[in-house]
Amino acid sequence: MDANEIPVLRRKLPDLKKVYIYPLCDIHFGESKSFDEKKFRGYLKVISDTKEAYCIFNGDLINVGLPGGVGAEDFWTQNPLTPQAQHEGIVEMVKEYDIADKILAVVGGSNHPARVKKLCGIDYDRQFAVDMGVLDRYVEPLGALFLGIGSRAANTLTHHKGSSIWYSIIVTHGTMGGKLAGSAVNSTRSLGAIYGADVVITSHRHLDAVTKDEFYCMDYHNKCVTKIKRLYVNSGTFMKYANYAIRKGLQPNGTGTPRIRLDGLKKDVHASV
């Protein structure tokens, strides 16, 4: 298989017994009536203040309402108005918390910045990674993140004494936008048929939800069948009940995003909403 088909990132965090990952997405900075700045800043502070906390920026960081385009009904209520000013605003806000080293990935290809990219080629998803100094952690439209945590005390089929426990994470902004929660959950879970990762993360639908399954993996190295637990995480939003959601009859889901926990002492994944 062509190694370039799926962008891959690798990060090792050997000094931690656990890691918390917050997928930060659907922030819609610039939607002045709906952006929950207080909640978003709260998450940034937790990530900044907590040694074990890391984050992934997974798209739609800015609102990018354009006249005559999608979301044009609320164009003039944006503050700041232009995509460039919105981009500069979100970068300035995140930089206040000095968390660049805690950004595991920035995922591009999200639909709101794509409005400008389609018109004139400006890619605000990628520019966010550039301005945060983490372009080496930018992937589009999907990425595979391998994360090594802690050190294992005992030998197992897949880990040696003193070695890190490795986790695999597939993350993409996603496209499913059905009215019912089940459509978003099913869309995320369907990626399990393509990627055998420990965690699959999608965004876009503004619905925070977590489901799990078990997957039987053919272990060719040890000539056995290994059962792994997989988490499917629909990450949340920092946008309150907006006008477009009211017009479409979408149910309000509240703001915030799930917290994913990866254990550094034994192979275990968990998430809370």
Contacts of 5 (CB under 8 A, 6+ apart): none
Confidence class for position 8, pLDDT limits 50, 70, 90 = very high
The answer to whether position 3 is within a domain reads: no
Instruction: Say how far apart CA 132 and CA 198 lie, in whole Å.
Output: 28
The answer to whether position 125 is within a domain reads: yes
Whole-structure pTM value: 0.92
Q: What is the CATH number of the domain that holds 183?
A: 3.60.21
The answer to whether position 140 is within a domain reads: yes
CB 19 within 8 A of CB 52: yes
Instruction: Say how far apart CA 100 and CA 16 lie, in whole Å.
Output: 18
Query: What does the pLDDT read at residue 44?
Result: 98
Give me the number of domains the chain comprises: 1
Contacts of 273 (CB under 8 A, 6+ apart): 208, 209, 210, 236, 258
Number of neighbouring beta carbons within 10 Å of residue 147: 22
- Torsion (CA) 31, 34, 35, 39 in degrees, nearest 10: 180
Task: For strands 269-272 and 259-263, give the pairing.
Answer: antiparallel
The answer to whether position 1 is within a domain reads: no
The answer to whether position 162 is within a domain reads: yes
The answer to whether position 117 is within a domain reads: yes
For residue 166, give its domain range: 8-272
Number of neighbouring beta carbons within 10 Å of residue 140: 18
Digit-coded pLDDT (tens) for 109-146: 999 999 999 999 999 999 999 999 999 999 999 999 99
- Torsion (CA) 90, 93, 97, 98 in degrees, nearest 10: 60
The answer to whether position 69 is within a domain reads: yes
CB 100 within 8 A of CB 136: no
The answer to whether position 2 is within a domain reads: no
Digit-coded pLDDT (tens) for 157-211: 444 556 899 999 999 999 876 788 899 999 999 999 999 999 999 999 999 999 9
